[in-house]
């Protein structure tokens, strides 16, 4: 591995905000932080205030993400932006099946659409992801049907699919979530929003092969997540896996 390869950064999770110029703004922020590439999903399906309430109290929206805008932005980014399809489970998989092959993976948001992870509609989406060879990114919340244990059950039902537990699990100190996913090697752990101590625990308990650096841009500035990793003083091998290689594998790439 060369020193250049060790320094490369592939953000495992960013959002493309709605509106004109969003991709250019994202690329400028990436440049300012030394980020080479990013997995991108649509933003703006629900506003942050409503999402905050739904995470705590429950609720649901039946809204489609602007996946076409994401696809278009990625097509003109010179390979720097990699699109994931943000599926609406209320469509029963029809939207993803029709367009999903044009994307590099699948994004689910149970707390946005209000559909529990054990619902057959999520099983249908996972089955399509398996057919497409896609990884599946999602986040869990502390409500029955939406937790990390429910993700574990879904992942066990689809052992050929790589799942990503986003945002360092539930809350900012989900050490329990790390332990829940540990026996299921097909579940990776993306660290945006978590404490640095939780990231260190994930590296130690899961191994660096199962940990991904993500930023959650634009809700989180990438510099915050990068500072967290600098404080951890990772080895060259850990950094290469977490910041580059694991996300490259998630997106189905063999070399870049």
Q: Which of 5-9, 210-214, 218-222 has the lowest mean pLDDT?
A: 5-9
- Judge whether 256 lies within some domain: no
- Judge whether 255 lies within some domain: no
- Above 90 in pLDDT, residue 235? yes
Q: Which single residue is written with the structure tokens 């950094």?
A: 239
How many Cβ atoms from other residues are within 10 Å of residue 16's Cβ?
Answer: 28
| pLDDT value, residue 6 | 53
| pLDDT value, residue 203 | 98
Q: What value does the mean pLDDT take over residues 134-160? A: 98
| pLDDT value, residue 4 | 46
Q: What value does the mean pLDDT take over residues 52-76? A: 96
Phi/psi for 245 (5° steps) reads: -65, -40
- Judge whether 24 lies within some domain: yes
Q: What value does the mean pLDDT take over residues 27-49? A: 96
| pLDDT value, residue 157 | 98
- Above 70 in pLDDT, residue 117? yes
| pLDDT value, residue 256 | 39
| pLDDT value, residue 7 | 83
| pLDDT value, residue 255 | 45
- Judge whether 203 lies within some domain: yes
Q: How many domains does the chain have?
A: 1
- Judge whether 123 lies within some domain: yes
Q: What is the CATH number of the domain that holds 246?
A: 3.20.20.140
Q: Which of 8-12, 43-47, 137-141 has the lowest mean pLDDT?
A: 43-47
CB-based contacts of 111, cutoff 8 Å, min separation 6 = 51, 54, 55, 139, 141, 146
Q: What value does the mean pLDDT take over residues 201-211? A: 98
| pLDDT value, residue 1 | 40
Structural domain for 21, as ranges: 3-250
């Amino acid at each position: 591995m060369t020193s250049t390869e060790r320094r490369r950064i592939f953000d495992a999770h960013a959002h493309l905000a709605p509106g004109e110029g969003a991709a250019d703004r994202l690329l400028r922020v990436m440049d300012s932080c030394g980020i080479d590439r990013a997995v991108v999903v649509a933003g703006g399906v629900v506003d942050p205030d409503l999402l905050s309430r739904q995470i705590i109290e429950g609720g649901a929206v039946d809204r489609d993400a602007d996946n076409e805008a994401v696809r278009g932005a990625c097509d003109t980014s010179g390979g720097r932006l990699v699109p994931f399809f943000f599926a609406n489970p209320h469509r029963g998989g029809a939207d993803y099946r029709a367009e999903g092959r044009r994307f590099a993976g699948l994004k689910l948001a149970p707390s946005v659409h209000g559909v529990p992870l054990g619902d057959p509609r999520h099983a249908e989406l996972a089955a399509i992801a398996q057919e497409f060879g896609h990884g599946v990114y999602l986040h869990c919340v502390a409500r029955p049907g939406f937790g990390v244990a429910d993700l574990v059950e879904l992942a066990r039902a689809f052992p050929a699919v790589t799942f990503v537990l986003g945002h360092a699990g539930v809350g900012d100190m989900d050490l329990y979530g790390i332990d829940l996913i540990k026996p299921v090697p097909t579940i990776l752990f993306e660290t945006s929003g978590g404490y640095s101590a939780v990231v260190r625990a994930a590296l130690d308990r899961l191994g660096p092969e199962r940990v991904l650096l993500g930023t959650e841009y634009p809700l989180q500035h990438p510099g915050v997540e990068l500072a967290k990793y600098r404080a951890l003083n990772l080895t060259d091998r850990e950094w290469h896996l977490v910041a580059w290689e694991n996300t490259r594998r998630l997106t189905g790439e063999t070399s870049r």
